[in-house]
Structure formats: C-alpha cells, structure tokens
Amino acid sequence: MGRKTNKNMSENFKMIAKTFYGFEDILSEELLALGAQKINKGNRNVSFYGDKGFLYKSNLSLRTALKILKPVCEFRFKDINEYYDNIYSFKWEDYIGPTGSFLINSVVFHSNVFNNSKFTSLKAKDAIVDRFRDKFKKRPSINSFNPELRIEIHVNRNVCTISLDSSGESLHKRGYKKYNSAAPLNEVLAAGIVLMSKWDKKSDLLDPMCGTGTFLIEAAMIAKNIAPNLNRLSFAFEKWKDWDNELFEIIEESVRSKEIDFDYKLYGFDISNAMVKKAQKNIEVAEIDIDIEIAKKDFLNSKKTDEDKLHILINPPYDKRISIDVNVLYKKIGDTLKNNYLYSDVWIITANLEAIKSIGLRSNKKIKLYNSNLESRLLNYAIYPGTKKNKN
Ligand SMILES: C[S@@+](CC[C@H](N)C(=O)[O-])C[C@H]1O[C@@H](n2cnc3c(N)ncnc32)[C@H](O)[C@@H]1O
C-alpha cells in the first residue's frame, strides 16, 4: 500500500467518530439520521464520509461521539526510519504555518517498532519540526493546552494512520455541567443510555436519583431535538487553516432550526439538598426551553400517583461509601418500583454487579457498558401489573 493522503477540503472525506464500548450501534443510527455516508462500525468508533459542513454538523449534533477525527495520511512502515520519513514527507504546511503550534497524541497496538506511545509522538514531532526547519528555516512549537492543530497518531501493527482531531476537548463537554459531584454520569454515556432505552417521548421521564441532572438535561435535549453542542465554547476545527466561519454559521443556524415541541414532563428527585441545587443550576445553564422539576425527595418513600406510562432512568449509588448497605438499598429500589411505580419502563445503570442481584425484579434486557473504566450493566425492567419478583 502506498501513502494515501486526503487534501481536498471541499469534497467528501472520511471521518472517524470515537465513542464508548457498546455505543457503536447507537452512534451509527445517529450518523444515519444526520445524513452521513458510507457508515462503517469499528471497535469504539464509527467511520463515515461527509464534507466540511458535515464535519461541523457532526461535532455540533452527535450525542454519542467523544471526538470526530479526520484521517489525512496512512502508510505502512517496517522501522523507525520509514516511520519518520513518511511523516517528514507529508505536506504539513497545508495544515499549519511555520510559526504555528501543534500537539500529538498517539495510540499504539501490536507494534514491533514502538512499545511506547510517547516515543511514537516524539518521533513524529521530530519529523514535522525537521520538515519545517528544512523548508522554512522556522518551526512550529508544541502547545499542550491550546494548539492550533491536534494530531492523532494510530499505529496498529505496521500501519500508521494520522488524523486531525476536529473536536479538541471531548465532546461530552457540552458546556452546561458547571456544578459537578463525585460520581456524575458522563454526558455522552447519559445521552447514549437515553437513546438505548428507546424512550418514545410520549410519556413523562423521571430520574429519581438525579445527582447533577445529567440524564434529565440530555433527555430534554433529545426530547426537543436540540443538538448537544450548540452551547459549547469551541471546537478544534475553528483553528484549522480551512476554517469557514460563514459555513459554520449556516450549519449552526440550520441545526438550531430543528428544535421541536415537547409536551410531557421531565422531573428528578435527589435525597441530597446539595445535589438538588446543583441539578437546578446545571439545568439553568443548559438554557433548554422546557420545565424540568427537581425535588428534594427520598425515592424510597415516593409513589407514582396515576396510571400513565412513565419512563424511569436510575443511576443509583454503587459503592460502599453510602450510609446504608448497598444490597439493602438495591432491594429497596426494587420494592419501591414494584409497589409504587406501576406502569413504568425502568432502566438502571450500575457498576455494582453484585448488589443489582438484590433488586428482586426480572430484567428484560442486560447491556454491558463501561462507566469510566468500571464495567457496568444497563438493565431494563417493565413494571406492570403482574410483574413478579424474580432472580435477576
Ligand atoms: C451515582 S449518583 C447519580 C449521579 C447522576 N446520574 C449525575 O449524573 O450526577 C446517585 C445519587 O443518588 C442520590 N440518592 C441516594 N439515595 C437516594 C434516595 N433514597 N432517594 C433519592 N436520591 C438518592 C445521591 O444523593 C446521589 O446524588
């Protein structure tokens, strides 16, 4: 395979959206709905094709992507010299000026040449800097915080793919999470769970242990078809040489115009006063035109008062630091759901795979996910008349 490069910015090009384990299907569905072409599922990523406007649109709109990469160069190499030469001969000046700044992040799998991703980055940095010095007598600098160009190097065996990171900070940083806690859900994880739970948006949605309000805010944006990153402060592509502010504004306007009405209620409880305040403040910052009610309430002493269908999402405490025994807590959650929440479709995400067995309800679905690096399960329970206690 020769060296393949992609230079033409106005035509369709390949992009790679990175995501979490288990999110490839839901991300592909999002991409399809957005109009991506040649969607191809990978391992924790999905590749697709689109033009520059689509790059902007996917960064603004994808709920379950962590980053959008644009591969610009791919080559095979058998030793460090060949690796260096390939990177040296790439036309970096198309992407960055001689006095610009860049940052390289590398990942390496099964390589005989590199056993250390830091060294992979270092060699690439040398090659880029040497090219600029030789051609322009000047060299761009390394900037770890605010580089003009973020370069991602992926080495798998003897194949190296070089991509530009179009997003910058992870796309879970939507901009609304001003008030955090010790165990908040990642926004991308929360959005993915709302989508996986197939909430039809024709019922109220409750998060009875809402913490900082992540499920509720993501669900509100999904209900109103509001793109998650419209309020984000910046994207890495804004510093690219081909940055097209006018095109971005057109795309942004068109994405904004897709907002729809939503007539049901979103509400949350938390037993902690501090959490209630944090959730309320985050909701305020998110500026979603929707009423989300947060009450200080013990879910275990709460009750649904009608026979309307209710969609419930719960991310209960899962560790040993809470004041009551976690197995007892999970049993009480199960009892509360069964006795007080008839006509509910319930989805629970937990990293405590032992305690969840105490819930005493039969799950319809069990999906393996990761919450940070904790192996977790997303479980679904349908609470309807006749729902029996059962082994999990
Ligand atoms: C793992 S955290 C939820 C984090 C949340 N998903 C977020 O994104 O911030 C669990 C929350 O459950 C709350 N909690 C614990 N027991 C509760 C109870 N009996 N009723 C209501 N909330 C409870 C805790 O105060 C905590 O905020």
Same domain, 147 and 193: no
Q: Whose CA is nearest to atom 13 of ligand 1?
A: 209
Query: Residue 385's pLDDT is what?
Result: 87
Same domain, 149 and 265: no
The rounded Å distance from CA 333 to ligand 1 centre is 12
- pTM for the structure as a whole: 0.94
Domain residues for the domain of 321 are 187-225+260-383
Same domain, 69 and 196: no
Q: What is the CATH number of the domain that holds 122?
A: 3.30.2130.30
Query: Residue 320's pLDDT is what?
Result: 53
* Dist. CA 234–CA 245, nearest whole Å: 12
Which ligand 1 atom is at minimum distance from the Cα of 279? 9
Same domain, 82 and 205: no
Evaluate whether 46 touches 24 at the Cβ level (below 8 Å): yes
Query: Residue 1's pLDDT is what?
Result: 39
pLDDT value at 348 more than 50: yes
Type of residue numbered 232: R
* Ligand 1 within 6 A of CB of 94: no
Query: Residue 3's pLDDT is what?
Result: 54
* Ligand 1 within 6 A of CB of 214: yes
The string of pLDDT tens digits covering residues 268-314 is: 999 999 999 999 999 999 999 999 999 999 999 999 999 999 999 99
* Ligand 1 within 6 A of CB of 194: no
The rounded Å distance from CA 93 to ligand 1 centre is 51
Query: Residue 296's pLDDT is what?
Result: 98
Which ligand 1 atom is at minimum distance from the Cα of 207? 6
Same domain, 123 and 215: no
* Number of domain units in the chain: 2
Same domain, 315 and 280: yes
The rounded Å distance from CA 316 to ligand 1 centre is 6
The rounded Å distance from CA 290 to ligand 1 centre is 22
The string of pLDDT tens digits covering residues 94-152 is: 999 999 999 999 999 999 999 999 999 999 999 999 999 999 999 999 999 999 999 99
Same domain, 204 and 106: no
* Ligand 1 within 6 A of CB of 268: no
Q: What is the CATH number of the domain that holds 210?
A: 3.40.50.150
* Dist. CA 229–CA 292, nearest whole Å: 19
Same domain, 116 and 200: no
Same domain, 119 and 206: no
Confidence band, pLDDT 50/70/90 cuts, at residue 155: very high
* Ligand 1 within 6 A of CB of 302: no
Same domain, 41 and 84: yes
The string of pLDDT tens digits covering residues 44-54 is: 999 999 999 99
Residue 179 lies in a domain: no
Pocket test for ligand 1, best of 189, 197, 212, 275 (most atoms within 8 A of CB): 275
Same domain, 161 and 268: no
Q: Can you tell me the mean pLDDT for 183-187?
A: 90
Query: Residue 181's pLDDT is what?
Result: 81
C-alpha 92 chain-centroid distance: 29
Same domain, 113 and 211: no
* Dist. CA 365–CA 262, nearest whole Å: 27
Q: What is the CA radius of gyration of the chain?
A: 24
